[in-house]
């Protein structure tokens, strides 16, 4: 039996159900249940909350979340091979685990969850960034979730938490830090996973803010940021020229020198520019 519950160790589960990780699904299984329980604890007190998990695989983090007291877990798994293993977990935690066999990019989780809602996941590498951007850019704010506790490649985690002037600073940092607090809470080496990826991983915890740090139209801010960092080596007047022929005047109106580059602008300055662009 494992150290966190009465279910078999994950390596045995994988062998019993012949769950070889598939590269096409971005799968890397984390088999140390002490680590999965530690990741679950980074999400905070879940005893009065529902948790959305994407890509549970054989259920390591799922078991961690349930063992740490999550009120209820909704797990969305695309790989049908994992369903029997997840069914065993559901049986061990009656009424607390619901599993949906489907694509996380297509399933509406809100039909299955009761607030407050937290999201915790060892995200499949091939959809992790897309899911994060969706969760950070809803039309209305605050979002349906209170916090995100997500595992990424270390490089992606550093892009989410990066500060102006750093090489990692860009679109992800601005979208994450505009309406949430983001910090790296754990680092994991490749050998913690099966199969071992070529890069290190890290867990990022994001807590949603009641309102954005600075006012701006979400769609305009995203457009400005995307355009600016698409040509990050160019001066802003050149990088943003396609957005408006009088871009130099608009940059000046936002208090931004047109010869600066995107990586030098703070979140507050990007929001000021988005407001000017919206008002024109």
The first and second tokens of residue 237, run together, are: 């007047």
Per-residue confidence (pLDDT) for residue 21, from 0 to 100: 73
Contact 251, 273 (CB under 8 A): yes
Q: Which residues contact 118 (CB under 8 A, 6 or more apart)?
A: 43, 44, 46, 49, 50, 51, 52, 145, 146, 147, 148, 149
Classify 71 as helix, strand or coil: coil
CB-neighbour burial class of residue 48 (10 A; exposed 0-12, middle 13-18, buried 19+): exposed
Helices (H) and strands (E) in the chain, counts: 11, 9
Closest CA to 228 of 154, 183, 278, 171: 171
Per-residue confidence (pLDDT) for residue 195, from 0 to 100: 81
Contact 215, 208 (CB under 8 A): no
One pLDDT digit (tens) per residue for the chain, 280 residues: 567 899 999 999 999 999 887 877 767 788 899 999 999 999 999 999 999 999 999 999 999 999 999 999 999 999 999 999 999 999 999 999 999 999 999 999 999 999 999 999 998 877 889 999 999 999 899 999 999 999 999 999 999 999 999 999 999 999 999 999 999 999 999 998 888 888 999 999 999 999 999 999 999 999 999 999 998 889 999 999 999 999 999 999 999 999 999 999 999 999 999 999 999 6
Residue 270 CA from chain centroid, whole number: 22
d(CA 212, CA 207): 12
Cα-flanking dihedrals φ and ψ of residue 136, to 5°?
Answer: -90, -15
Per-residue confidence (pLDDT) for residue 2, from 0 to 100: 66
Cβ neighbour number for residue 215 with a 10 Å cutoff: 11
Place of tokens 């602008």: 265
Q: How many CA atoms lie within 13 A of 159 on its CB side?
A: 14
Contact 39, 151 (CB under 8 A): yes
Contact 60, 85 (CB under 8 A): no
Distances (CA, A) of 43 to 56, 149, 190: 16, 6, 22
């Amino acid at each position: 039996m494992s150290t966190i519950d009465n279910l078999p160790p994950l390596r045995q589960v994988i062998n019993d159900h012949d769950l070889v990780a598939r590269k096409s699904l971005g799968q890397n299984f984390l088999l140390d249940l002490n680590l999965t329980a530690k990741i679950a604890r980074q999400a905070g007190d879940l005893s009065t909350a529902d948790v959305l998990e994407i890509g549970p695989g054989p259920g390591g983090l799922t078991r961690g979340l349930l063992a740490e007291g999550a009120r209820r877990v909704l797990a969305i798994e695309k790989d049908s091979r994992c369903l029997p293993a997840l069914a065993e977990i559901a049986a061990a935690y009656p009424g607390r685990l619901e599993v949906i066999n489907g694509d996380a990019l297509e399933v509406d989780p809100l039909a299955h969850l009761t607030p407050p809602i937290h999201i915790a996941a060892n995200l499949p590498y091939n959809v992790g960034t897309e899911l994060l951007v969706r969760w950070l850019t809803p039309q209305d704010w605050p979002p349906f979730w209170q916090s995100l506790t997500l595992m990424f490649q270390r490089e992606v985690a550093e892009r989410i938490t990066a500060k102006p002037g750093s090489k990692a600073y860009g679109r992800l940092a601005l979208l994450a830090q505009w309406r949430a607090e983001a910090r790296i809470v754990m680092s994991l080496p490749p050998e913690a996973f099966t199969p071992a990826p070529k890069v290190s991983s890290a867990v990022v915890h994001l807590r949603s803010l009641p309102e954005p740090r600075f006012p701006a139209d979400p769609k305009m801010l995203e457009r400005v940021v995307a355009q600016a960092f698409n040509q990050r080596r160019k001066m802003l007047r050149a990088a943003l020229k396609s957005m408006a022929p009088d871009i130099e005047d608009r940059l000046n109106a936002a208090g931004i020198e047109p010869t600066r580059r995107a990586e030098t602008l703070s979140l507050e300055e990007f929001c000021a520019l988005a407001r000017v662009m919206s008002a024109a």
